[in-house]
Structure 1
Amino acid sequence: MIDYSYLIQEVMAWADERKISAPENLTKQALKLGEEYGELIEAVLKKKPDQFKDSVGDMQVVMIILCQQYGVDYEQCLRDAYRVIENRKGKTENGVFIKESDM
Structure 2
Amino acid sequence: MSAVVEKHVARADRPAKTIRTELVDIEDYMPIGRRLRDMVTWHHDRNLIEGSDDKTQFAKLIQEVGELSDNLCKGKDIRDDVGDIVVVLVNLCARNRISFLSCLDQAWNDIKDRQGIMYEGVFIKSTDTRYAELVAARK
TM-score under structure 1 length normalisation: 0.89
- Which of 4, 8, 18 lines up with 2:46 in the alignment? 18
Deviations 1:21-66 (A, max 9, x none): 12752111110000000000000111111xx111000000000000
More relative contact order, 1 or 2 (CA 8 Å, 6+ apart):
1
Shift of 1:76: 1.1
> For this pair of structures, how many residues does the alignment match?
101
Matches within 5 A, 1:1-103: 3-22=31-50, 24-49=52-77, 52-103=78-129
Change (3 A) 1:23 1:90: farther
Decide which structure has the larger Cα Rg and report it.
Answer: 2
Shift of 1:80: 1.3
RMSD: 1.6
| Ranges in structure 2 where 5+ consecutive residues have no aligned partner | 1-27, 130-139
TM-score under structure 2 length normalisation: 0.67
Partner amino acid, structure 1, of 2:96 = Y
Change (3 A) 1:98 1:14: same
Shift of 1:100: 2.2
Distance (whole Å) between structure 2 residues aligned to residue 24 and residue 102 of structure 1: 41
| Ranges in structure 1 where 5+ consecutive residues have no aligned partner | none
Distance (whole Å) between structure 1 residues aligned to residue 50 and residue 36 of structure 2: 17
Structure with the higher fraction of residues in helix conformation: 1
Partner amino acid, structure 2, of 1:40 = L
Q: Which moved more, 1:88-97 or 1:54-63?
A: 88-97
